[in-house]
Structure 1
Amino acid sequence: MSMSVIKEPRQEHKEFELERVILFSDAVFAIAITLLIIEIKLPHVPEHLAPGEYSKVIQPFVFEFFTFVASFAFIGNFWIRHLQLCRFMQHYNIGLVYRNLFFLFFVVCFPFSAAAMMHLTTNFVLPMFIYLGNLAGCLAGLFWLSYYVFQRNPGLAIAGHHTEKELLYQRFKYNFFTVATVFTTLALSFFIFPDGMTIQRLSYTFIPALVLFNYFRIRIKKRNTLRLVHIGDKSS
């Protein structure tokens, strides 16, 4: 009885397969960022509309376009971070592919989340939580990818560049925990105090405060890491 043996792919085949993973990711980014603009259309302006009523017609369009710009910026930033991560990768395994698909799932959900924001009202805040959940999912995917590559399977990454890898990993980690904390805080304020408008409005102020805190925390981490590297170079 003859038995078939699956041969280990050659190095050039592995490089080509890793390139396919990256090219597929780029295609998903391109499609998601293109779909954002498809739903945006100029508002219908009735004839003989009074000049003072133009703002009521234009206001939904302005909010829709602002959501598009914000979503475009988010997806673009995620693509840049994904590119930075891919710069360090030299191999792949099935675990990396699954985690990359997890990240891309939330990227491709952005057109839906952006469209859902058009239904946001004072009494219906579910679209806001959908959008924030989408952001948190993307950041969780990046954090999970960086943890898998840099912490659990360092052989998937190129040798050296320990400082750059650590700083990128810390950035992904802090960004994810920041958005996750914002999401949790807002959810608790709205669902525990559904009629507490004051508490709900105060919870919004938590967003810029936490973003600034995260920004300075990353800068301090970067400065301390570079200082340790500098001290290590001197001692050696």
Structure 2
Amino acid sequence: MNVNEGEEIKKEFQLERVILFSDAVFAIIITIMVLEMKMPEGLRHANAEKVKEAFMELLPKFGGYLISFLIVGIFWSKHLKIFSFLKDYTNKLIALNLLFLFSISLFPFAVSLMTETLGPHSLYGLVVYFGIVMFCSLTQTVLVHYLIINADELCIMPADIKKNLHWKSQRFTYIAVPAFYALIIVAIVLDLDVNIITTISGVWAITLAVIRKRYYPAAKAENGPILARLFRSRRRLKEAVEQQ
């Protein structure tokens, strides 16, 4: 084994450690969130009515966990895609990845705050939750941007990296997130109705979804989910056998 081969093996091993560490953080965050869902103590000898009440109190936490699980899963899926194009890493990439993982690590706090304070006249927990989601989106955008700027050095297929990572739509995060935070600050300073703040959050999410669909319409069936492609392949194989 020559020196170059040894360096390549070392580089691949270190990059794999970065990916495994990131996956571990995601797994721990999801585990911490589910630990928030537990029935109160002292129900062993409680009657059915009290158990039912305790269970109903737990439903908002379950809803918050379910939504957060899906959102964290989406961020993990995007993170997996980002790192699938890497062939090398730098210290700055590691730092940006840690910043992104820090933003993701705030999810347990966000879920707890939202589910414990959410009510008809108290939606600030929901606003904080949206703010943390947007912070995650912003840090992931910064990570993607760094890869695009240094694609020749860090990525395989550097010419296609913008298309593969949907940069045309994701770059709007640089505008959308600061604009959202500015509107929230204005709403709080002017003591606006909290419903206006939640409406702003909804409009933000819908706008980004429309922009993404505009630049990157739904992929063709051939590029759909792996299970769908598997079933299509089996169906085509069956049709080919029947034709014979």
TM-score normalized by the length of structure 2: 0.73
* Equivalent position SS for 1:135: helix
Q: 1:174: Cα distance to partner?
A: 3.1
2:14 maps to 17
Q: Which residue of 2 aligns with 1:215?
A: 209
Q: Are 1:204 and 2:202 an aligned pair?
A: no
Percent identical pairs in the alignment equals: 25
Query: Structure 1 residues 139 and 48, CA, compared in 2 at 3 Å: closer, same or farther?
Result: closer
Compute the displacement of 1:218 (Å).
1.6
Within the candidate set 137, 147, 168, 2:135 is matched to 137
- Take 1:64 and 1:209, find their aligned partners in 2: how far apart are those partners? 25
Shift of 1:86: 0.8
Deviation at 1:130, TM superposition (A): 3.4
What SS class does the counterpart of residue 157 from structure 2 fall into? coil
8 Å contact from structure 2 (residues 93, 143) kept in 1: yes
* Compared CA separation, residues 43 and 14, structure 1 to 2 (3 A): same
Name the CA shift for 1:176/1:37 in 2 (closer, same or farther; >3 Å): farther
- Alpha-carbon distance in structure 2 between the residues aligned to 1:154 and 1:40: 46
Instruction: Please state whether the residue corresponding to 2:166 is helix, strand or coil.
Output: helix
For residues 91 and 185 of structure 1, do their structure 2 counterparts lie closer, same or farther at Cα, with a shift above 3 Å needed? same
1:108 aligns with 105
Shift of 1:176: 5.9
Q: CA RMSD in A?
A: 3.0
Mapped partners of 1:72, 1:14: distance in 2:
32
In the aligned structure 2, how far is the partner of 1:201 from the partner of 1:125?
A: 7
Aligned-pair CA distance for 1:39: 1.4
The partner residue of 1:64 within 46, 61, 72 is 61
Question: With structure 1 as the length reference, what TM-score do the two structures score?
Answer: 0.75
Question: Quick check: 65-74 or 208-217, which moved more?
Answer: 208-217
Query: Equivalents in 1 of 2:55, 2:184: separation in Å?
Result: 29
- Does the 8 Å contact 2:184/2:197 carry over to 1? yes
1:10 aligned counterpart, secondary structure: helix
d(CA) in 2 for partners of 1:169 and 1:47? 56
1:16-55 superposed matches below 5 A:
16-42=13-39, 47=47, 49=49
Question: Is the CA contact 1:99–1:141 (under 8 Å) kept in the aligned structure 2?
Answer: yes
**Alpha-carbon offset, residue 175 of structure 1:** 4.6
Structure 1 residue aligned with 2:149: 151
One-letter code of the match for 1:155? E
- What CA deviation, in whole Å up to 9, does each residue of 1:20-41 have, x standing for no partner? 1111101111111111111101
Q: Which residue of 2 aligns with 1:120?
A: 117
Q: Give the number of aligned pairs.
A: 210
Given the superposition, is the C-alpha separation of residues 48 and 39 from structure 1 closer, same or farther in structure 2, using an over 3 Å criterion? closer
C-alpha deviation, 1:109, in angstroms? 2.0
Judging changes above 3 Å, is the alpha-carbon distance between structure 1 residues 107 and 124 closer, same or farther for their aligned structure 2 residues? Answer: same
- CA deviations on 1:148-200 (whole Å, 9 max, x unpaired) are 111245411113452654652234333564454444423422x1232x43xx3
Question: Gapped runs of 5+ residues in structure 1?
Answer: 1-6, 224-236
After the TM superposition, which parts of structure 1 deviate over 6 Å for at least 4 consecutive aligned residues?
A: none
* Equivalent-residue separation in structure 1 for 2:137 and 2:64 (angstroms): 19
Aligned equivalents of 1:41, 1:82: Cα separation in 2 = 30
The letter of the residue matching 2:125 is: P
The aligned amino acid for 1:113 is: A
Distance 1:86 1:31, change over 3 A: same
**What 5-or-longer segments of structure 2 have no aligned partner?**
218-244
Indicate the SS of the match to 1:67: helix
